[in-house]
């Protein structure tokens, strides 16, 4: 099994040493895909960027069948060429495409939500995800579709499938049309409400023709590695989707 979403100290918000991540993965008997953050559109200049040459130089010697080197790129319509150039310049195993911004503004900023209903914000969020998947054809898997639920400053930020099915269906269809896998991000899955909602989303993914999911803890420290994987595998089973990871940009089965 693989944890396909891991942030080590090349990510500006993580202090995790690669060797600590590897030791923890060995204890859980799983492999890792390291996916440090690169958000070229992040407003603060030094935030969420790293030197990819150094990353490969430093981590290259640890690379093996169980330790793969990927990246999580922040998708943005204004940076699609820069992202593409970056991805084509290095020999990544896996590329996660993530929407951390709406119109290049961090999803955590309350300005985004001011004067709008949650549905109005979600229209922008999901529309930008669809546009970005289409303009970033080099991503292997869509990261955390429910990322906005972590940071939206409202009392119930769940992206309920029953309420927003028209918007979520567009994302699912875009993933399927572009042959992009969908990630099950295990960060929020422990909550029953979230689990039931994700079950609806990934069942719909299967229903519309989707097959493959990657599973990632989005760890920034060793204790989070492999978190809630039991729940994620149960979700795969219930939704009848296959967990995979990417090696050399090609899907591999657990």
Q: Which residues bind Zn ion (CB under 5 A)?
A: 72, 98, 218
The CA distance from 77 to 89, in Å, is 20
- Using the minimum distance from each CB to Zn ion, give the nearer residue, 48 or 212: 48
- Find the shortest distance in angstroms from Cβ 98 to Zn ion: 4
Query: Is the distance from CB of 130 to CB of 153 less than 8 angstroms?
Result: no
- Using the minimum distance from each CB to Zn ion, give the nearer residue, 72 or 231: 72
Residues 6+ apart with CB under 8 A from 250: none
The CA distance from 92 to 47, in Å, is 21
- Using the minimum distance from each CB to Zn ion, give the nearer residue, 8 or 197: 8
- Using the minimum distance from each CB to Zn ion, give the nearer residue, 46 or 114: 46
- Find the shortest distance in angstroms from Cβ 75 to Zn ion: 10
Residues 6+ apart with CB under 8 A from 59: 18, 34, 69
- Find the shortest distance in angstroms from Cβ 237 to Zn ion: 25
Only one residue has tokens 């939500």, namely 113
- Using the minimum distance from each CB to Zn ion, give the nearer residue, 98 or 214: 98
Please tell me whether residue 209 adopts helix, strand or coil conformation.
Answer: coil
- Find the shortest distance in angstroms from Cβ 96 to Zn ion: 7
Only one residue has tokens 């060797």, namely 19
- Using the minimum distance from each CB to Zn ion, give the nearer residue, 82 or 117: 82
Where helices occur in the chain by DSSP H, the ranges are 18-28, 52-59, 80-89, 118-135, 147-151, 161-177, 192-207, 229-239
- Find the shortest distance in angstroms from Cβ 6 to Zn ion: 8
Query: Is the distance from CB of 148 to CB of 157 less than 8 angstroms?
Result: yes
Residue number of the CB closest to Zn ion reads 98
- Using the minimum distance from each CB to Zn ion, give the nearer residue, 72 or 146: 72
Residues 6+ apart with CB under 8 A from 51: 10
- Find the shortest distance in angstroms from Cβ 143 to Zn ion: 5
The CA distance from 69 to 85, in Å, is 17
Name the DSSP letter for residue 33.
Answer: E
């Amino acid at each position: 099994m693989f944890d396909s979403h891991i942030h080590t100290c090349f990510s500006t918000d993580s202090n995790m040493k690669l060797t600590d991540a590897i030791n923890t993965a060995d204890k859980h008997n799983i492999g890792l895909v390291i996916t440090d953050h690169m958000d070229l559109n992040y407003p603060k200049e030094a935030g969420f960027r790293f030197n990819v040459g150094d990353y490969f130089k430093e981590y290259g010697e640890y690379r093996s069948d169980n330790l793969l080197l990927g990246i999580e790129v922040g998708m943005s319509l204004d940076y699609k060429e820069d992202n593409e150039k970056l991805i084509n310049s290095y020999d990544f195993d896996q590329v996660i495409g993530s929407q951390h911004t709406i119109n290049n503004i961090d999803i955590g900023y309350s300005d985004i939500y001011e004067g709008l209903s949650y549905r109005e914000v979600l229209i922008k969020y999901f529309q930008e995800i669809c546009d970005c998947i289409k303009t970033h054809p080099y991503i292997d898997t869509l990261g955390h579709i429910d990322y906005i639920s972590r940071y939206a400053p409202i009392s119930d930020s769940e992206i309920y499938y029953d309420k927003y099915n028209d918007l979520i269906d567009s994302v699912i269809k875009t993933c399927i049309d572009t042959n992009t896998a969908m990630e099950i991000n295990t960060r929020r899955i422990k909550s029953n409400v979230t689990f039931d909602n994700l079950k609806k989303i990934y069942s719909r993914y299967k229903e519309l023709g989707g097959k493959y999911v990657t599973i990632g803890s989005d760890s920034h420290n060793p204790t989070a590695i492999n978190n809630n994987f039991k729940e994620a595998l149960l979700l795969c089973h219930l939704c009848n989707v296959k967990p995979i990871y990417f090696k050399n940009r090609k899907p591999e089965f657990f």
